Structure 1
Amino acid sequence: MAAFIALLRAVNVGGTGKLPMSELKAMCEASGFAGVRTYIASGNVVFTSRKSESAVKKALEAALESYAGKPVGVMVRSISEMQAVLADNPFPKTPANRTVAVFLDSPPPADTLKAVKGRKDEEIGLGRREIYIHYGDGIGQSKLVIPAAKAGTARNMNTVAALAKMAAEL
């Protein structure tokens, strides 16, 4: 059985997409996942499964759509991929709560950096299937727009580290 981390997009953020983590856990268990654990109320879940990454994603998206009545974006990473996100962070000396990885389904497009708007002091780096952003003044003050990030979901490096640790414990 392989360990996976699933990151839901736009769940319990800004009053939208309400989903109790107990419901998310139950959906995962009903999909045949084992050792299911959630982390904070923003759509983070770790579990083990014999299914492939794509099959895990498909099963979870189907369960979430049935629950929510609309598609819910899900990004799935293996434990080694999540550990690589931490290791590949191009801003390791910046505060972990001001540095995020935007998780995508595929590699960032070649024109990702050219399309950026509203940049002030933010630093941006591209990963395998992630866009890294360090918000110097904090995310709340930022006017940064990265069109390629719109389809993704962001987690700060504290959350990425916690999820990698939780998955390693399964």
Structure 2
Amino acid sequence: MKPSATTSYVALLRGINVGKAKRVPMAELKALVESLGYTDVKTLLNSGNVVFRGPKGKAADAAKRIEAALPGTFGFEAKLTVLDAAQWAELLADNELLDQMSDPSRLVVAVWRNAAARAGVEKLAAQDWSPDLFTTGRHAGYLVCTEGILASKAAMALDKALRDEVTSRNWATALKIGAMLEPAKP
């Protein structure tokens, strides 16, 4: 692949390394993504965040390829969502709740997998979840969980309604992923 024909992507795996089920060592996940021909593969934290380079315009293809390879490597299925670097920059820019957030670990970014999941997130965001705040952007919903994620009725409703069709990260993690996607400075 020519460097100009590639772009950076982020893959977000849902539901891994929570409790004892679906354990995925990040070094093995990195090796799996590299084995599919992707380059500059890096992981962040232990929750299934993978940044890599691949052919431009192929986010959906990358999602399918990585998702299909998971059972053979780890023995279970897991859903994942892939966005390119430009989409991730939009995701960060779209957050209208920054000035109403006091703790980045209580601001949830719920990234949807498809148009149906987007509609589901938008429907939930249109409801009143006081004291929590809930809005949407081009690629994700944003939820400020005033009393914490585990105490948030909106976060519980989001998980119950959409399960594997969204994957969530807190704002601090979203920013770290964004920094990983930035091009290297000369």
Distance 1:116 1:70, change over 3 A: farther
- 1:92 aligned partner: 98
Whole-Å separation in 2 of the counterparts to 1:19 and 1:121: 35
Distance 1:45 1:55, change over 3 A: same
Whole-Å separation in 2 of the counterparts to 1:79 and 1:148: 28
- 2:68 aligned partner: 62
Tell me, yes or no, if structure 1 residue 74 matches structure 2 residue 52: no
Whole-Å separation in 2 of the counterparts to 1:112 and 1:20: 35
Alignment of 1:1-170 (within 5 A): 1-50=6-55, 52-93=58-99, 94=101, 95-107=103-115, 108-109=118-119, 112-113=123-124, 119-144=129-154, 145-146=157-158, 147-150=160-163, 151-169=165-183
5+ residue gaps in structure 2?
Answer: 1-5
Aligned-pair identity (%): 31
Whole-Å separation in 2 of the counterparts to 1:66 and 1:25: 15
Q: How far is the alpha carbon of 1:154 from its aligned partner? A: 0.2
Contact 2:132 2:145 survives alignment (8 Å): yes
TM-score, reference length from structure 2: 0.82
Higher helix share: 2
TM-score, reference length from structure 1: 0.89
C-alpha offsets along residues 98-119 of structure 1, whole Å, 9 cap, x if unaligned? 11111111242166228969x4
Distance 1:38 1:120, change over 3 A: same
Q: How far is the alpha carbon of 1:25 from its aligned partner? A: 0.3
5+ residue gaps in structure 1?
Answer: none
Distance 1:22 1:63, change over 3 A: same
Q: How far is the alpha carbon of 1:48 from its aligned partner? A: 0.3
Aligned residues: 169
Whole-Å separation in 2 of the counterparts to 1:7 and 1:166: 14
